[in-house]
Amino acid sequence: MQAPATTAIKTYTIDPNHSTVRFWAKHLMISKVHGELPDVTGTVVANEEDPSQSKIDVQIKAHTLSTKNDQRDAHLRSADFLDTENFPDITFKSTKIVRTGDDTLDITGDLTIRGTTRPVTFKAEVTPEVPSPFGGFKRGATALGQINREEFGVMWNQVLETGGVVVGKDIHFEIDLELDRP
């Protein structure tokens, strides 16, 4: 009788000092406004042999949003957009992870913004694990994705005289995570 194979399951925490979520949306239908959500925490349980068994759980403090413009940031935190007073966290919990290449994955999960949860898929690239000079191990991950903000109840807009709108519906994300394992 053959001994059962062992699965290489590794649990990581997101290093909040070296991780961020960047986003952009169209402004006046002519340019992009970029911002970031720097307060990112969570865990990744990685199953190297079977990524479909991996799990990702991320929390983002919505009030940390910054576009480097105080007036715009206050508006984005208001009830017109993220309503951070009533919905302080943006969360993501994976539901399906599929390996698409040696170091690439499609990560589908439930994204919750303003109390509305919808499925979203991110294209991700992961780096191999390396020893950390501070002890333990590190690895990196970058994910790209896009949502329609209106599907999450973020409806505010103004119609322009030219026929466009002030803020585009599509929000594009680039997520950079540094992961730690003891």
Which pLDDT score, from 0 to 100, does residue 37 have?
A: 96
Give the domains, in start order, of the chain with CATH numbers: 9-181 (2.40.128.110)
Global pTM? 0.90
Mean pLDDT by 10 residues, the chain (182 residues): 62 96 83 92 93 95 95 93 96 97 96 97 96 95 95 78 76 96 94
Is residue 22 classed exposed, middle or buried when 0-12, 13-18 and 19+ CB atoms within 10 A define those classes? middle
Q: Which residue has the tokens 């999450």?
A: 152
